[in-house]
């Protein structure tokens, strides 16, 4: 595959990247197996590894760091902060404030065993923190050499614009990248986020390309979620009663069969067709899953296949809005009703 540049950062990455959320306590608890998955991905030519401090309360970062020893200089290492790490009730050990960011980055550097992070990302918007504070603190981390570039994750278009404007006003370094959820079943970012990111010269690294396993075809109306699947281990994130998703899967399976490809490979290739997308995060729990995902290679879908997919899930549609994984505070009842 041709390498793609993360926005205007000058950093080039393979369009297939390794996401690590399920390497560790949230998925595969065999540390040695997890590190073999990382090595297999690097051997296959993937050079972007993405993690977050909140995955397993820091345990995943502690798995990834040693796995990169001897190869760190060849890897674009990305992590995130915002969520609380560990069992505590301190409201200041979370969020997007400078206070928490400066501690969080040092904790991540320690767990990862590195002196810098290539791409540091704000995991979610924080309505309690002025975006200007976050932008300026990120800029300071870049200038201090702690991080090389920074980005946002799961930010709506208006928050991305606010971050860009805040950077312009203060002369700070603007975000280089956005990391949104994106799949055939969750296309809402086509309405605005992808266009806004491209307009500001930002890269886009997408997550949840298989919609929690729906686009593998493993979930059916007739059978319970397979043991060990996301639908089994994370039922709160599984849309098991969504008839619209079952309908879509059946139609997409027919399209994939007509194109002579697996639905999994069709889903990945479909994402990479969008000109605004830099890379897609693969989230394998096992080496076998990684091998299957890597087999997508440089698959390109023809126009008829792309049109058929659009007929099943129209551009800009989220079959379930909850799959965006962040809802604006303005939708809360307290924001829509006057105090009583």
Give yes or no for residue 131 having a pLDDT over 90.
yes
Predicted local distance difference test score (pLDDT) of residue 220: 85
Beta bridge partners, 28, equal: 23
**H, E, C per residue of 273-288:** CCCCCCEEEECCCCHH
Q: Looking at residues 60-86, what average pLDDT do you find?
A: 97
Residue 238 and residue 225 in contact, taking contact as beta carbons nearer than 8 Å: yes
Q: How do residues 19-29 score in pLDDT, each as one tens digit?
A: 999 999 999 99
Active-site residue list? 55
Using CB atoms within 10 Å of the CB of residue 333, give its burial: 0 to 12 exposed, 13 to 18 middle, 19+ buried: exposed
Categorise residue 58: left if φ over 0, alpha if ψ from -120 to 50, beta otherwise: left
pLDDT class of 232 with cuts at 50, 70, 90: confident
* Sign, CA torsion 327/328/332/336: negative
* Best CA proximity match to 325, nearest among 165, 206, 170, 196: 206
Q: How does the average pLDDT of the chain come out, rounded? A: 95
In which residue are the tokens 């080039």 written?
12
Residues 20-54: tens digit of each pLDDT: 999 999 999 999 999 999 999 999 999 999 999 99
Say whether pTM exceeds 0.85: yes
d(CA 44, CA 182): 24
The tens digit of pLDDT for each residue in 2-25 reads 899 999 999 999 999 999 999 999
> In the prediction, which pLDDT does 239 show?
80
pLDDT per residue over 132-163, tens digit each?
A: 999 999 999 999 999 999 999 999 999 999 99
Evaluate if residue 237 carries a pLDDT over 80: no
Instruction: Spell out the domain ranges in the chain.
Output: 4-212+265-301
Radius of gyration, alpha carbons of the chain: 20
* pLDDT (tens digit per residue) in 249-283: 999 999 999 999 999 999 999 999 999 999 999 99
Residues contacting 86, CB < 8 A, separation 6+:
57, 58, 93
Superfamily of domain 4-212+265-301 in CATH is NADP-dependent oxidoreductase domain (3.20.20.100)
Residue 286, both tokens: 């096992």
């Amino acid at each position: 595959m041709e390498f793609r540049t993360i926005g205007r950062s000058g950093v080039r990455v393979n369009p297939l990247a390794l996401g690590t959320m399920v390497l560790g306590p949230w998925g595969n608890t065999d540390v040695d197996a997890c590190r073999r998955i990382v090595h297999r991905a690097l051997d296959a030519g993937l050079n972007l590894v993405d993690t977050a401090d909140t995955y397993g309360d820091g345990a995943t970062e502690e798995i990834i760091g040693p796995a990169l020893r001897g190869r760190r200089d060849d890897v674009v290492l990305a992590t995130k902060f915002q969520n609380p790490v560990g069992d505590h009730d301190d409201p200041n050990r979370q969020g997007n404030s400078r206070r928490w960011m400066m501690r969080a980055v040092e904790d991540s550097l320690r767990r990862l065993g590195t002196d810098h992070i290539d791409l540091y990302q704000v995991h979610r918007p924080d309505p309690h923190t002025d975006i200007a504070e976050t932008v300026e603190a990120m800029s300071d981390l870049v200038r201090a050499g702690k991080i090389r570039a920074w980005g946002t994750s799961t930010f709506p278009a208006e928050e991305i614009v606010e971050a860009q404007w805040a950077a312009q006003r203060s002369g700070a370094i603007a975000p280089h990248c956005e990391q949104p959820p994106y799949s055939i079943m969750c296309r809402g970012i086509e309405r605005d986020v992808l266009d806004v990111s491209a307009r500001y010269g930002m890269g886009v690294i997408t997550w949840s390309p298989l919609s929690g396993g729906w686009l593998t075809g493993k979930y059916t109306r007739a059978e319970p979620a397979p043991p060990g699947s996301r639908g089994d281990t994370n039922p709160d994130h599984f849309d098991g009663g969504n008839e619209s998703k079952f309908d879509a899967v059946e139609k997409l399976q027919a399209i994939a069969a007509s194109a002579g490809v697996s639905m999994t490979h069709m889903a990945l290739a479909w994402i990479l067709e969008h000109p605004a997308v830099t890379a897609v995060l693969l989230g394998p729990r096992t080496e076998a899953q990684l091998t299957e995902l890597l087999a997508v290679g440089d698959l390109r879908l023809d126009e008829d296949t792309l049109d058929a997919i659009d007929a099943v899930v129209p551009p800009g549609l989220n079959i379930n809005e909850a799959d965006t994984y962040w809802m604006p505070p303005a939708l809360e009842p307290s924001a829509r009703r006057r105090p009583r």
